[in-house]
Amino acid sequence: LPKHLTIKDGHLMIGSHDCNALAESYGTPLYVTDEQRIRDNFTRYNSALKKHYNNVQMLYAAKANGNMAVLKTFADMGAGADVFSSGELHLALLAGMDPEKLLFNGSSKTKEDLELAVEKGVKVSIDSFDELDQLSEVAKAKGKEVEVSFRINPAIDVPTHPKIATGLATSKFGIPAEQILDAYRSALDAENVTPVGMHCHIGSQILDVIPFAKAAEIMVKIAGQLTDIGVKLKFIDIGGGLGIPYRHDTDNAPTPEEYADAVMPVFLEGIAKIGIKPELWVEPGRNLMGDTTILLTGVNSVKTAHKKFVNVDAGFNLLLRPAMYDSYHEVVVANKADQEPELEYTVTGPICESGDIIAADRPLPHVDRGDLIAVLDCGAYGYSMASQYNCRPRCPEIMVSSDRSAYMRRGETVIDILNTMVDLPWVEK
């Protein structure tokens, strides 16, 4: 278990809080985030990089967990953000993040997205020539200047789930190698637009430092060519961060220090050769948030069929990752955390699909109705990918901080769902 999760009197604890007591007072399902763990993760990652180069800026990937309390925690530590929609941009600004430290990413932005970025003075990572044209028009119409980067397609194969390998030559993202110089030349010529940065993102949940070092190498090589054609680079953004060890016993995850030791020398040598000192931007999401949060889910019933099923109150409506990417999350029986495994159980949610499995064939202590299951490592891409499928209101999120706990999002109700629906005027009341 990571250091913020412990066992006391047979109960799973998060920080100084007994998970069973939290479930008792807030109900289940319940997302629980440990504020101190966010701070520790950020500090470690940031320091690992800064040890090599002081000019590093962390841009938290808001998509991993966009709760305002989380964004404010990052803002408080000096982070900016990678935002992928106008919504994320609004939230990052409301959280108090410096617009100078925001990058508006995305391969399919609307005109309104671009207008918002220009109005707020936020840098835009451009993903196509067409988008460059539109951004230039938008900025000109507003009489403003906008600083941009292009998202580079580094054409790197990475060891992760195919749905989240984003820098392959065949991905939808980025400008392919042979068009990069043209793209920057067009940006140098375009009105009201100034190219000041480079951006890439090779993929997520990568447990190997080599592809990141390779990406850095490709980026600084292109940086040299861009400097030659007159681009003055203020930043180089090497995208998302390291993956995390979802399988606590067997996943061999590199540490932030190992990541920095692999990436930074390549980066520093590259920029030294060119004679530039751009900021290094990184956009970690999962590594900072993943292990900060657990999902507490109550056992509705236990069934013995061709195997033993534990039917819990959270399914892929609240945690999509296992269904979407076959991903693995550790589960702990929070009220029997010190008991030896007795049987193999498959933990399933309440959703109407057979893919609604949180954890398959896990050795657990004897499970009974009323027990509490904790699903670990749900802080990144957990609540942020939740839905209201089967008309299930999304559950609350709480934050714990030393001996305090509080809602950081109340639970939805069926009324919340109903309220967005409008009666068709032609249907009889």
Name the binding residues for substrate: 286, 321, 325, 353, 381
Q: Provide the minimum distance between the beta carbon of 80 and ligand LLP in the complex, in angstroms, as a whole number.
A: 12
Q: Provide the minimum distance between the beta carbon of 206 and ligand LLP in the complex, in angstroms, as a whole number.
A: 7
Q: Provide the minimum distance between the beta carbon of 103 and ligand LLP in the complex, in angstroms, as a whole number.
A: 8
- Using an 8 Å Cβ cutoff, are 352 and 390 in contact? yes
Q: Provide the minimum distance between the beta carbon of 390 and ligand LLP in the complex, in angstroms, as a whole number.
A: 21
Q: Does 61 bind ligand LLP (CB under 6 A)?
A: yes
Q: Does 123 bind ligand LLP (CB under 6 A)?
A: no
Q: Does 197 bind ligand LLP (CB under 6 A)?
A: no
Rounded to the nearest angstrom, the gap between the alpha carbon of residue 388 and the centroid of all alpha carbons in its chain is: 20
Query: Does the active-site annotation cover 19?
Result: no
Q: Does 201 bind ligand LLP (CB under 6 A)?
A: yes
Q: Which residues within the stretch 381-420 sit at the binding site for ligand LLP (CB under 6 A)?
A: 381, 385
Q: Does 70 bind ligand LLP (CB under 6 A)?
A: no
Number of CB atoms found within 10 A of residue 8's CB: 11
Number of CB atoms found within 10 A of residue 304's CB: 8
Options 131-139, 238-246, 252-260, 266-274: segment touching ligand LLP (CB under 6 A): 238-246
Q: Does 65 bind ligand LLP (CB under 6 A)?
A: no
Query: Which residues, 6+ apart, have CB-to-CB distance to 293 below 8 Å?
Result: 31, 32, 33, 34, 65, 377, 378, 379, 382
Options 137-145, 185-193, 283-291, 388-396: segment touching ligand LLP (CB under 6 A): 283-291
Q: Does 240 bind ligand LLP (CB under 6 A)?
A: yes
Quote the crossing angle between the two packed helices 35-50 and 256-274, to the nearest 10°: 40
Query: Which residues, 6+ apart, have CB-to-CB distance to 25 below 8 Å?
Result: none
- Using an 8 Å Cβ cutoff, are 72 and 40 in contact? no
Please, is 162 exposed, middle or buried when counting C-beta atoms within 10 Å of its C-beta (0-12, 13-18, 19+)? exposed
- Residue with the closest Cβ to ligand LLP? 240
Residue among 53, 325, 328, 389 that touches ligand LLP (CB under 6 A): 325
Please, is 100 exposed, middle or buried when counting C-beta atoms within 10 Å of its C-beta (0-12, 13-18, 19+)? exposed
Q: Which is nearer to ligand LLP, 5 or 158 (CB)?
A: 158
3-state SS string for 154-199: CCCCCCCCHHHECCCCCCCCCECHHHHHHHHHHHHHCCCEEEEEEE
Q: Which residues within the stretch 79-98 sit at the binding site for ligand LLP (CB under 6 A)?
A: 82
- Using an 8 Å Cβ cutoff, are 211 and 174 in contact? no
> What residue numbers does the annotated binding site for pyridoxal 5'-phosphate cover?
241, 283-286, 381
Residue among 254, 284, 322, 349 that touches ligand LLP (CB under 6 A): 284
Give the per-residue contact string, 241-280, with ligand LLP (x = CB under 6 A; - = no). Answer: x---------------------------------------
- Using an 8 Å Cβ cutoff, are 379 and 33 in contact? yes
Residue in 111, 241, 126, 221 with CA at minimum distance from that of residue 173: 126
User: Distance between CA atoms of 29 and 101, rounded to whole angstroms?
Assistant: 35
Catalytic residue among 19, 352, 378, 395: 352
Q: Which is nearer to ligand LLP, 30 or 320 (CB)?
A: 320
Amino acid at 250: T
Options 10-18, 200-208, 359-367, 417-425: segment touching ligand LLP (CB under 6 A): 200-208
What DSSP designation does 203 have?
B
Backbone torsions φ then ψ of 175, nearest 5 degrees: -95, 125
Q: Which is nearer to ligand LLP, 286 or 362 (CB)?
A: 286
Q: Which is nearer to ligand LLP, 227 or 327 (CB)?
A: 327
Judging by DSSP bridges, how do beta strands 102-104 and 123-126 pair with one another? parallel
Query: Could you tell me how many residues of this chain bind ligand LLP (CB under 6 A)?
Result: 23
> What residue numbers does the annotated binding site cover?
241, 283-286, 321, 325, 353, 381
Q: Does 164 bind ligand LLP (CB under 6 A)?
A: yes
Give the per-residue contact string, 351-380, with ligand LLP (x = CB under 6 A; - = no). Answer: -----------------------------x
The contact set with ligand LLP (CB under 6 A) reads: 61, 63-64, 82, 105, 164, 166, 201, 204-205, 239-241, 283-287, 321, 325, 380-381, 385
Residue numbers annotated as active site? 352
